[in-house]
């Protein structure tokens, strides 16, 4: 969509329609906070936007189904900056270029950190060009919000089997990886910055949900337990 930002400038944004999301406002919060976190950890993610869709918005002729979703999405939605031409989806079973292997390892670690089950070999949820990979689609991140019975945080080493389906798992397993940069970036994530994540979530998305506060609390604990967390990640990839 072509949007106008707060300064009156046009920008192209890929919108995640709230009316088409199973997880509704919680999914929007996950999208926004995961994007902010990825950016702070210096991982490549399109710039996030909060997009206001007016009442009775119509997508265009011949798109009745999409127009119906748009009407149900009136209000504030999540969006990502449209990437340049030539950036496409990561192909299924694509070998990781050697130069991109360190980034691929950090993306795997990021998905362990945010408990994201939705970057699988059959559904990569990645964008790429020849020498870049971009993260996208974090609606199902922070899966502990779904109330899984017996859930344990990843630094305990419990509940990590789903990560064997990760798009990069098979190609990274058995290799040596350096986590020092990502560990340092997580250590530098301050409580004040996490409070800014919460403040960035629109009140319209909060309704009765405490998801933003729960995510921030979880990330504080992840930072405190980062040594154990990356030990678990290393063990997963042995």
pLDDT digits (tens, 9 = 90+) for 16-47: 999 888 888 999 999 999 999 999 999 999 99
> Are 76 and 97 in the same domain?
no
Integer angstrom CA distances of residue 115 from 2, 135, 144, 153, 212 = 32, 14, 8, 9, 15
Nearest C-alpha neighbor of 24 from the set 218, 215, 206, 200: 206
How many structural domains are present in the chain? 2
Burial (CB count within 10 angstroms: exposed 0-12, middle 13-18, buried 19+), residue 191: exposed
- Which residue range forms the structural domain that includes residue 96? 88-236
66 and 174 share one domain:
no
SS3 state of residue 170 = helix
Token pair, residue 158, equals 């419990």
Q: Each residue of 160-194: pLDDT tens digit? A: 999 999 999 999 999 999 999 999 999 999 999 99
pLDDT of residue 205 exceeding 80, the answer is yes
195 and 145 assigned to the same domain: yes
pLDDT tens across 121-149, in order?
999 999 998 889 999 999 999 989 987 77
- Single residue among 49, 81, 113 that ends a domain in this structure: 81
- Summarize the confidence of residues 206-214 as an average pLDDT: 87
Q: Helix, strand or coil for residue 181?
A: helix
Instruction: Note whether 175 and 118 are same-domain residues.
Output: yes
In Å, how far are 81, 215, 216 from 220, measured between CA atoms?
28, 9, 6
């Amino acid at each position: 969509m072509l949007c106008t930002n707060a300064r009156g400038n046009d920008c192209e944004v890929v919108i995640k329609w709230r009316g088409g999301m199973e997880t509704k406002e919680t999914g929007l919060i996950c999208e926004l906070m995961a994007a902010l976190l990825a950016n702070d950890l210096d991982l490549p993610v399109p710039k996030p936007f909060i997009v206001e869709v007016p009442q009775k918005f119509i997508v265009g002729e011949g798109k009745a189904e999409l127009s119906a979703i748009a009407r149900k999405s009136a209000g504030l939605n999540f969006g990502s900056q449209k990437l340049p031409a030539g950036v496409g989806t990561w192909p299924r079973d694509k070998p990781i270029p050697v130069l991109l292997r360190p980034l691929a390892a950090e993306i795997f670690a990021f998905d362990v950190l945010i408990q994201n089950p939705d970057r699988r070999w059959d559904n990569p949820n990645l964008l790429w060009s020849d020498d870049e990979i971009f993260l996208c689609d974090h609606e199902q991140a922070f899966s502990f919000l779904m109330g899984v019975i017996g859930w344990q945080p990843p630094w305990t080493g419990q509940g990590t089997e789903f990560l064997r389906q990760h798009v990069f798992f098979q190609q990274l397993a058995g290799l040596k990886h350096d986590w020092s940069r990502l560990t340092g970036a997580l250590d530098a994530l301050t409580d004040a910055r996490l409070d800014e994540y919460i403040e960035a979530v629109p009140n319209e998305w909060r309704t009765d949900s405490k998801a933003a506060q729960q995510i921030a609390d979880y990330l504080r604990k992840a930072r405190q337990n980062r040594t154990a967390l990356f030990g678990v990640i290393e063990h997963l990839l042995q």
